């Protein structure tokens, strides 16, 4: 979370918890505790020796005041309240020092300046200025209760108010600097995110151009040649004409899928579609088309209907079967392929099995089909595994939840 986001959510900025590394926070707290201990020792000595306070009384009041220093890093409001109560009590208890600075002793002044600085840097001007003015007002009230040398007391209060005021302004400067720094970090993060999206968009556009210029062009040529073969050559047998027609049909279907993919790559929201996405109900037609192409593909269809099946689950089922058949045709040519789809109450089980290849196949460059199928299944909360069986047949098993509502990111 950026500093700016933290400020917007809470309205405050916490030095000890948000902006700095744990090491900085730890050393800051150690320094505050060390300062509080030093102020406690000095304040107790001054109160007992200079202002005639009892050691126990001086220790208790100075402890209340000095403890506000480390507390200000964690609970600024509590620290402000504690310091505002401690200052007039110290002044009231220190009336015995006839010649010493009063109503503000040097240790009280330093302690309150540190507290106001930390409170202002932590919680802003309202609490900081409150701790500043109320502590000064408290000592003025004590002076009215125990009036003594008016000029010396007035100078003492003015000097104390000025020193604490400088601490308050320093805290405000630090807070504003941290706010500006947080906004700068936020803008840098936004710029980096926009740059990342721009790089992704440029890469998607490049891929779309490559697909259009190379794959779409070649598929169009296949479509045209297959569609016109019966007219360009004489005495073409009927079965061969049907084969060419099937090739042309598959090429046209591939072009439709390719155009759909190009629209997704080129659209910023990936929402444009040129045709409806294939669904679970299209699997039988896919198997029939594969059979017409000469492959030996059988289907075990135990799906009563596709009602209540989420679009993402339906599309994932079709793509997994499609990719599994394509992989079998590529890596096990001539082998029998069995596709089994079984719908349970809330899941769909898909099993695609191909026998060992009957034609020797030379291993090629590994593709990304299996990875893509696993990603599709995982995206909707399903599972997919693939492995060789004992008889060297290859089996792909997928279990898909039918109520998948959205892609998991």
DSSP codes joined into one string, 55-122: HHHHHHHHHHHHTHHHHHHH-HHHHHHHHHHHHHHHHHHTTT-SSS--SS-HHHHHHHHHHHHHHHHH
pLDDT at 3: 38
DSSP codes joined into one string, 274-310: SSPPP-GGGHHHHHHHHHHTT--EEEEEE----TT--
pLDDT at 24: 80
310-364 pLDDT, tens digit each:
888 898 999 999 989 988 887 887 889 999 999 988 899 999 999 987 766 555 4
| 397 three-class SS | strand
pLDDT at 391: 87
pLDDT at 163: 97
For the chain, which residues score pLDDT lower than 50? 1-17, 269-274, 364-365, 405-409
pLDDT at 45: 95
Cα–Cα distance, 6 to 374 (Å, whole number) = 38
pLDDT at 367: 58
Which of 403, 389, 315, 402 is closest to 351 using CA atoms? 389
Domain ranges across the chain: 3-193, 279-409
| 384 three-class SS | strand
Cα–Cα distance, 348 to 62 (Å, whole number) = 73
Query: In the beta sheet, which residues pair with residue 386?
Result: 396
pLDDT at 5: 43
pLDDT at 66: 96
CATH 3.20.20.140 assigned to 279-409: no
pLDDT at 206: 76
Strand ranges of the sheet holding 337-343, from the earlier edge strand across to the other edge = 297-302, 337-343, 347-354, 394-401, 383-388
CB 103 within 8 A of CB 142: yes
Which of 255, 321, 259, 256 is closest to 290 using CA atoms? 321
pLDDT at 273: 47
51-75 pLDDT, tens digit each:
989 999 999 999 999 999 999 999 9
């Amino acid at each position: 979370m950026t500093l700016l986001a933290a400020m917007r959510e809470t309205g405050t900025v916490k030095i000890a918890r948000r902006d700095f590394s744990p090491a900085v926070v730890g050393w800051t707290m150690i320094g505050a505790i060390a300062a509080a201990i030093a102020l406690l020792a000095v304040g107790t000595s001054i109160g007992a020796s200079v202002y005639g306070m009892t050691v126990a009384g001086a220790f208790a009041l100075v402890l209340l005041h000095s403890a506000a220093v480390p507390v200000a890093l964690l609970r600024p409001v509590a620290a402000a309240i504690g310091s505002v109560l401690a200052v007039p009590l110290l002044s009231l208890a220190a009336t015995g020092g006839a010649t010493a600075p009063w109503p503000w002793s040097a240790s009280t002044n330093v302690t309150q300046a540190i507290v106001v600085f930390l409170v202002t840097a932590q919680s802003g001007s309202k609490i900081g200025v409150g701790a500043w003015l109320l502590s000064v007002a408290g000592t003025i009230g004590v002076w009215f209760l125990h009036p003594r040398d008016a000029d010396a007391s007035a100078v003492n209060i003015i000097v104390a108010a000025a020193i604490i005021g400088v601490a308050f302004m320093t805290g405000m400067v630090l807070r504003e600097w941290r706010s500006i720094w947080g906004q700068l970090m936020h803008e840098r993060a936004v710029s980096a995110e926009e740059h990342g999206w721009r790089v992704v968009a440029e890469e998607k556009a490049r891929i779309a151009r490559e697909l259009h210029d190379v794959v779409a062009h070649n598929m169009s040529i296949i479509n045209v040649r297959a569609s016109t073969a019966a007219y360009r050559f004489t005495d073409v047998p009927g079965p061969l004409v049907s084969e060419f027609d099937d090739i042309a049909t598959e090429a046209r279907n591939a072009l439709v899928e390719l155009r759909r993919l190009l629209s997704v790559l080129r659209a910023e929201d990936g929402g444009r579609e040129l045709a409806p996405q294939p669904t679970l109900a299209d699997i039988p037609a896919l198997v029939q088309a594969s059979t017409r192409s000469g492959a030996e593909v059988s289907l075990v269809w135990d799906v009563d209907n596709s009602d209540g099946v989420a679009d993402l689950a339906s599309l994932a089922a079709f793509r997994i079967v499609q990719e599994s058949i394509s992989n079998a045709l590529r890596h096990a040519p001539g082998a029998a392929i069995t596709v089994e789809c079984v719908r349970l109450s809330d899941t769909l089980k898909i099993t695609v099995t191909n026998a060992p290849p009957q034609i020797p196949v030379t291993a090629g460059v590994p593709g990304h089909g299996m990875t893509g199928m696993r990603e599709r299944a995982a995206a909707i909360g399903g599972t997919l595994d693939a492995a060789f069986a004992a008889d060297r047949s290859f089996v792909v098993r997928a279990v898909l939840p039918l109520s998948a509502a959205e892609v998991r990111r």
